[in-house]
């Protein structure tokens, strides 16, 4: 029981630190680096390696922190992160049948696409800037490409790291088992 | 059966998220939100400085660091001189024309509240907004001016929470303030951010003579911003003989990427 509580506290601290780092540290970095989306990467990481409960929990905690700290309407990040986690879970269960690097890459890239689209759409609805629709804005697509690159990089690193540490996953190719 | 269980779980997460949003709308979460944001502000300010000082490629300090450092130093010196000069000119003019106005602010009769930057957020129309660790609890309100350590105006308070505030930079579109060009005609107008890079002043009558390098200051009209705060200097003038108006592009005297500490001006 005590171990379980300690795990939950550790989980909350890790997700909170990721959200805080996103808010203050990453936002101050030079242009390309500031597109790293640490909470989103963490959520997909949890979804892939730990299951939906950790992923939805991380989405809720990170979304809550970001909604408190930023000045957009409260709920934007909670909603977008939860919906992203849910769509990623649907994709994971329906289309991606194994836990390979390719699955992880597709999952994280799809989540990045969904998250960016939902956030931009949420901002477009709640705080219209009087300019053009976000889909025809260069900044939206640039942000998406940069975030996609970061997500792919993070997926490669995370998957290889986990496969080295646990030997549960094969980094690239599935190997033949002894009976095959 | 399994699907039902999954749907139930999903519904629980959606309900928890919806409840948080509902409680926020009711204001029930405000004490928690305020204490959490106050709690993390010092750490966020430190991380913001670390992020700015990081030696990652892609920043402005990528190469020829010494040279850039020297340029920054000289720019700062120049900015200090320009502020001093503009203040002197303002005071001189006040002495000549407005010394009978008791309520006039001479650029030093205002209170400032120091604040640390805790985050930056991309603005929808270009550039980015800043978030500082002072808010309504410190007396901040929407529309107040924000200056850097040299007294140059960098932006306006756009939105406030209890312990934090969002600042729009003067280069962000729709971040507007009343301005005066320090030329012979004392041209007045509205300075508005342009693409997150410069400031523009439109609808200046062709009869007014503007010169490159003229200093632009806040005019003190119609708002909470005192007169005489330096905005920048005229870098470009767009004037066609067949047009009724001319337009000036104002170059800010501040490197917004270097900001870590600012002051909010309370008139």
**What's the whole-number mean pLDDT along residues A91-97?**
86
Count the domains in chain B.
1
As a whole number, the mean pLDDT across chain B is: 82
User: What local confidence, expressed as pLDDT, does residue A77 receive?
Assistant: 93
User: What local confidence, expressed as pLDDT, does residue B95 receive?
Assistant: 62
Q: SS3 of B41, please? A: helix
- Helix (H) or strand (E) segment spanning residue B46: helix B30-53
Domain extents for chain A? 2-166
Cα B162 to Cα B30: distance, rounded to the nearest angstrom: 9
CA B262 from centroid of its chain's CA atoms? 9
Interface mutation target, options A15, A23, A24, chain B, most CBs of B under 10 Å: A24
Which CATH fold would you assign to the domain A2-166?
A: Arp2/3 complex 21 kDa subunit ARPC3 (1.10.1760)
Cα B72 to Cα B67: distance, rounded to the nearest angstrom: 9
With contacts defined as CB-CB under 8 Å, which chain A residues touch B47?
20-21, 24-25, 28
Are B47 and A28 in contact (CB < 8 Å)? Answer: yes
With contacts defined as CB-CB under 8 Å, which chain A residues touch B9?
52-53
Per-residue three-class SS string for A117-146: HHHHHHHHHHCCCCCCCHHHCHHHHHHHHH
Query: pLDDT of B79-108, one tens digit each?
Result: 788 777 777 776 666 565 444 434 434 445
**What's the whole-number mean pLDDT along residues A5-32?**
91
Write b or e for each residue in B184-196: b if 16 or more Cβ atoms lie within 10 A of its Cβ, otherwise e.
eeebebebbbbeb
With contacts defined as CB-CB under 8 Å, which chain A residues touch B56?
29-30, 33
As a whole number, the mean pLDDT across chain A is: 86
Q: Are B228 and B218 in contact (CB under 8 A)?
A: yes
Q: Report yes or no on B111 lying in a domain.
A: yes
Which CATH number fits the domain that encloses residue B98?
A: 2.40.10.350
**What's the whole-number mean pLDDT along residues B221-227?**
82
Query: pLDDT of B58-78, one tens digit each?
Result: 655 456 677 777 788 788 778
Per-residue three-class SS string for chain A: CHHHHHHHHHHHHHHHHHHHHHHHHHHHCCCHHHHCCHHHHHHHHHHHHCCHHHHHHHHHHHHHHHHHHCCCCCCHHHHHHHHHHHHHHHHHHHCCCCCCHHHHHHHHHHHHHHHHHHHHHHHHHHCCCCCCCHHHCHHHHHHHHHHHHHHHHHHHHHHHHHHHHHCCCCCCCCCCCCCC
Helix axes A38-49, A138-166, angle to 10 degrees: 40
Sequential DSSP letters for B155-191: EEEEEE-SS-EEEEETTSTT-EEEEEE-STT--EEEE
Say yes or no to pLDDT of B48 above 80: yes
Q: What are phi and psi of B234, to 5 degrees?
A: -70, 120
Query: pLDDT of A124-155, one tens digit each?
Result: 887 766 666 777 787 888 889 999 999 999 88
Interface mutation target, options B46, B119, B175, B196, chain A, most CBs of A under 10 Å: B119
Q: Which of B197, B177, B180 is nearest to B251 (CA)?
A: B197
CB-defined contacts A:B, below 8 A: 113
Q: Which of A146, A156, A158, A149 is nearest to A35 (CA)?
A: A146
User: What local confidence, expressed as pLDDT, does residue B217 receive?
Assistant: 92
Query: pLDDT of A63-93, one tens digit each?
Result: 999 999 998 889 999 999 999 999 999 999 8
**Dihedral, B132, B133, B135, B141 alpha carbons, nearest 10:** -20
Is A122 near chain B, with CB under 8 Å? no
- Residue-level length of chain A: 180
CA distances from B123 to A120, B144, B193 (A): 12, 19, 12
Q: Which of B124, B134, B125 is nearest to B160 (CA)?
A: B134
Instruction: Give the one of A23, A52, A53 whose C-beta lies nearest to B119's C-beta.
Output: A23
The structure tokens listed for B64 are 């020829």
**What's the whole-number mean pLDDT along residues B120-147?**
88
pLDDT band at A13 (very low <50, low <70, confident <90, very high): very high
Q: SS3 of B262, please? A: strand
Beta bridge pairs of residue B114: B263
With contacts defined as CB-CB under 8 Å, which chain B residues touch A64?
20
User: What local confidence, expressed as pLDDT, does residue B98 receive?
Assistant: 47
Q: Report yes or no on B153 lying in a domain.
A: yes
CA B18 from centroid of its chain's CA atoms? 34
Cα A39 to Cα A25: distance, rounded to the nearest angstrom: 13
Q: Which of A68, A108, A79 is nearest to B13 (CA)?
A: A79
- Please tell me the pTM assigned to this model: 0.79
**What's the whole-number mean pLDDT along residues B175-181?**
90
Cα B199 to Cα B178: distance, rounded to the nearest angstrom: 12
Checking DSSP bridges between strand B245-252 and strand B230-238, what pairing results, if any? antiparallel
Range of the domain at B249: 64-267
Is A179 near chain B, with CB under 8 Å? no
Q: Report yes or no on B177 lying in a domain.
A: yes
The structure tokens listed for A32 are 């390309």
């Amino acid at each position: 029981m005590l171990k379980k509580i300690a795990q939950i506290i550790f989980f909350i601290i890790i997700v909170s630190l990721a959200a805080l780092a996103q808010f203050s540290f990453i936002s101050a970095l030079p242009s390309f680096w500031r597109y790293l989306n640490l909470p989103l990467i963490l959520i997909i990481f949890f979804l892939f390696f730990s299951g939906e409960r950790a992923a939805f929990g991380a989405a809720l905690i990170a979304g809550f922190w970001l909604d408190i700290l930023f000045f957009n309407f409260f709920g934007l990040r909670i909603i977008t992160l939860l919906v992203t986690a849910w769509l990623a879970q649907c994709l994971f269960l329906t289309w991606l049948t194994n836990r390979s690097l390719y699955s992880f890459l597709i999952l994280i890239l799809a989540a990045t696409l969904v998250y960016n689209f939902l956030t931009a759409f949420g901002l477009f609805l709640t705080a219209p800037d009087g300019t053009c629709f976000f889909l025809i804005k260069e900044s939206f697509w640039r942000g998406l490409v940069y975030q996609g690159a970061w997500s792919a990089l993070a997926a490669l690193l995370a998957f290889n790291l986990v496969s080295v540490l646990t030997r549960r996953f094969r980094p690239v190719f599935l190997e033949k088992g002894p009976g095959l | 059966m399994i699907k039902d269980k999954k749907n139930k779980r999903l519904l629980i997460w959606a309900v928890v998220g919806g409840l948080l949003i509902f409680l926020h709308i009711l204001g029930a979460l405000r004490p928690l939100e305020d204490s959490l944001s106050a709690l993390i502000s010092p750490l966020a300010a430190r991380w913001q400085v670390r992020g700015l000082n990081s030696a990652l490629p892609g920043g402005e300090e990528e190469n020829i660091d010494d040279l850039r450092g020297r340029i920054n130093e000289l720019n700062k010196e120049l900015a200090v001189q320009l502020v001093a000069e503009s203040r002197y000119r303002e005071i001189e003019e006040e002495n000549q024309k407005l010394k009978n106005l008791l309520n006039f602010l001479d650029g030093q009769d205002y209170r400032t509240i120091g604040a640390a930057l805790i985050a930056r957020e991309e603005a929808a129309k270009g550039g980015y907004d800043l978030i500082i660790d002072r808010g309504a609890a410190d007396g901040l309100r929407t529309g107040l001016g924000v200056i850097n350590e040299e007294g140059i105006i960098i932006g306006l308070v756009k939105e406030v929470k209890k312990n934090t505030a969002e600042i729009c930079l003067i280069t962000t579109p729709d971040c507007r303030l009343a301005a005066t060009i320090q030329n012979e005609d004392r041209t007045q107008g509205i300075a508005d951010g342009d693409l997150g890079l410069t400031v523009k002043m439109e609808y200046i009558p062709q009869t007014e003579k503007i010169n490159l390098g003229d200093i632009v200051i806040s005019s003190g009209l119609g708002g909470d911003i005192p007169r005489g705060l330096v905005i920048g200097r005229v870098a470009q003038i767009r004037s066609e003989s067949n047009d009724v108006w001319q337009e000036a592009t104002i170059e800010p005297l501040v490197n917004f990427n270097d900001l870590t500490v600012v002051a909010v001006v309370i008139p």
